[in-house]
Structure 1
Amino acid sequence: MAVALRLNRKGTKDRPYYKIVAVDSRKRRDGRYIEQIGTYDPMKEGANYTIDLEKADKWVGVGAQPSETVASIIRKARTAAKAEA
């Protein structure tokens, strides 16, 4: 089973909200997922995401492929974590 880290759209028309999930890559975009690892709200200003980096690292470590957007969010979260430390 090929696992992907990608966005799962929620919210209403013109008010999108996304969950960052680990999912079988053959499933549809908003289908059943294995585990939720974060959220992304493009309507919010500033830090508009939350992500559990430990879970993301676990999934990438076992071969999950993040989408471009999720990879960008992970990169931003790592940079923010380094800045705090």
Structure 2
Amino acid sequence: MALHLLEDCCQGMNIDPRNCLLVTGVLEAVDEGSIEPILRSSTEYLCKCKMRGHIFVREEGAFAVLCELPSAVDPLQVPGVLVLSGVI
């Protein structure tokens, strides 16, 4: 489901899904303005990420956040604790 959600979000925003990742499980209590700084500070790889949008995933009871990077996502560089799904 997460991969389809990522692809749908990217297509709707005209963004290359290879340059994006979807961070899932973001709790409602997390302030929207603090999501991007948290991701940027989590690892050097994500320091240039840009939050493009978020959507509430009812089945998880949490938000999924679409993040764009300047180049294709390298899954080996992204901390697994933060990124639950992405495109290789």
TM-score, normalising length from structure 2? 0.29
By relative contact order (CA 8 Å, sep 6+), the higher-ranking structure is 2
Structure with greater Cα Rg: 1
Q: Which has the larger share of strand? A: 1
TM-score, normalising length from structure 1? 0.30
